[in-house]
Structure 1
């Protein structure tokens, strides 16, 4: 049985604090084969809040035809009304209609999702890259007029299953366009998990040289080849302080079949705690939450930290030091 907390050894050149941007309820559950009941989604988000997460991406106001697993967005948001106002609950909006639905539920934080490649823009948005950016421009403009905080996701920043390696200059162009629209933050997505630390460093250098402030960059790594943590560490050394992660390692991408699960939030927090970097996250509560969700999904959590701390290869159970919530 592993111990409940890592030994701490600080390393030079790293931030003192990292904001964990939790995407499990949206990016994780959108890839499930069947729809998770809305009451379970609500409880999942409440548990993540109690585990100390300050940003939890709740759902997506996309048309149910495209992502049926998130068709219950209107039913979910009222179930979260009791959560404190300081908890950020971003929602994804694909277009003007999605924004209208988000505004109707008083969502204060939204995200749009662009692509760094033509092929994925057409697969995910049914538009060319430039057409998709043109679609987002009025959405972001109106969101800012509504005093909403806006994140811009950029998918396929490192590799594309149809086009192969993605030139950094191509990513820079999309990032600059989103910033010029008014996005407050950019999330660089390694959608199919092919990035390596040198590639991450090269892209971040090009973005910085192009005038993109590192303080407005987040990273979103998938763990297809086991590189998500090493890529994250590289980004932290470059000055990035916001990292996307999914509780229990849930997730993938419905429109990129080679995309596997996201970086597990527990694995990220274990590494950050070991480095002495503050996150505000209670690892034991988070682990118990992911074990609880794994039970609801009927399969083991892919997170190595969840498995180590629960002492089993099943979703059930928890470490003796954890705050088990049943």
Structure 2
């Protein structure tokens, strides 16, 4: 396999943890429902490629996201894998379902804007935080790690650009609830590096530790890797990505695919930043999944390293 020449940039972290979201955030946006056995194999292959955190599924109501309605069937098939397997829980009922199956890492999904909170949760921002409070408290009481996703951190399709102080307020609220980690979501992909830097600087200035912050970029305008590099230069060491570039957001129609894990690994390898990921196995996994979805992978790295892939699909 062709690999990039390693030329480090001073000041970057030595290692980055990739929070793989393909099986959850990726597949939830697919029109077709992927069989449970294929999803389980997808999670296994990602783990075998060296990803240490693989977001497995979501315990939302099946009517909301029918593509992930098989969470109870899927999770036991992958629970023994030697990797972290976070799951999304929208409310206490979702938490009950996850805990019953032994989940040890859960995530709640908040919004920085009122419009998206209404569209996604049918609540105001503050009402949604109130809904998450008992979820986080109960999860922490059970010794479970809690991630707080925050969507629309940079722009909203209804409200436009999102002021940095508004995002910081909700981030602080999620940490005050007890979240162990935040994921800053550029849900519609409008962020640019200066905006990313400004938000991270304001967060750290308000006492939010950078090691509690992850970033989740979408590539709508081709800015995901540039934004990731800006975040790394501010000390972020957790980056969300989706194998093959799968996914978007079913509740924000302007949201296109997530940052492709392969594209991220290619860049990090060139920068000399360790990930522990076997790029060859990861590419093979995304080619395999693209065949099941009957369409080519959006990842540029997958296409470059599997030049016949887009011709065969």
TM-score range, shorter chain: over 0.9
* Aligned residues between the structures: 313
2:155 corresponds to which residue? 159
Q: Could you list the runs of 5+ residues in structure 2 that have no partner in the other structure?
A: none
> Does residue 192 of structure 2 align to residue 196 of structure 1?
yes
Say which SS state the counterpart of residue 110 (structure 2) adopts: strand
CA apart distance, 1:201: 0.5
2:216 corresponds to which residue? 220
Q: Structure 1: how far apart are the matches of 2:241 and 2:90? A: 21
Q: 1:69 aligns with which of 67, 90, 99?
A: 67
Say which SS state the counterpart of residue 310 (structure 2) adopts: coil
2:23 corresponds to which residue? 25
1:39 corresponds to which residue? 37
> Does residue 261 of structure 2 align to residue 257 of structure 1?
no
Say which SS state the counterpart of residue 314 (structure 1) adopts: helix
> Does residue 304 of structure 2 align to residue 311 of structure 1?
no
1:277 corresponds to which residue? 273
> Does residue 169 of structure 2 align to residue 183 of structure 1?
no
Q: Structure 1: how far apart are the matches of 2:72 and 2:283? A: 28
What is the alpha-carbon root mean square deviation over aligned residues?
1.0
1:59 corresponds to which residue? 57
CA apart distance, 1:5: 1.4
Q: Is the 8 A contact 1:185 1:216 kept in 2?
A: yes
Q: 1:130 aligns with which of 126, 150, 172?
A: 126
Q: Structure 1: how far apart are the matches of 2:79 and 2:309? A: 35
CA apart distance, 1:166: 0.1
Q: Is the 8 A contact 1:291 1:315 kept in 2?
A: no
Q: Structure 1: how far apart are the matches of 2:13 and 2:311? A: 33
CA apart distance, 1:316: 5.5
Q: Structure 1: how far apart are the matches of 2:110 and 2:90? A: 9
CA apart distance, 1:81: 3.3
- In the superposition, the TM-score normalised over structure 1's length comes to 0.95
1:301 corresponds to which residue? 297
CA apart distance, 1:313: 4.8
Q: Is the 8 A contact 1:116 1:171 kept in 2?
A: yes
1:80 corresponds to which residue? 78
1:103 corresponds to which residue? 99
2:169 corresponds to which residue? 173
CA apart distance, 1:13: 1.2
Q: 2:284 aligns with which of 268, 284, 288?
A: 288
Q: Structure 1: how far apart are the matches of 2:312 and 2:279? A: 16
Q: Is the 8 A contact 2:11 2:233 kept in 1?
A: yes
Q: Structure 1: how far apart are the matches of 2:182 and 2:312? A: 36
Displaced runs of 4+ in structure 1, greater than 2 A?
Answer: none
Q: Structure 2: how far apart are the matches of 1:13 and 1:110? A: 31
Q: Structure 1: how far apart are the matches of 2:80 and 2:148? A: 27
Name the CA shift for 1:315/1:240 in 2 (closer, same or farther; >3 Å).
farther
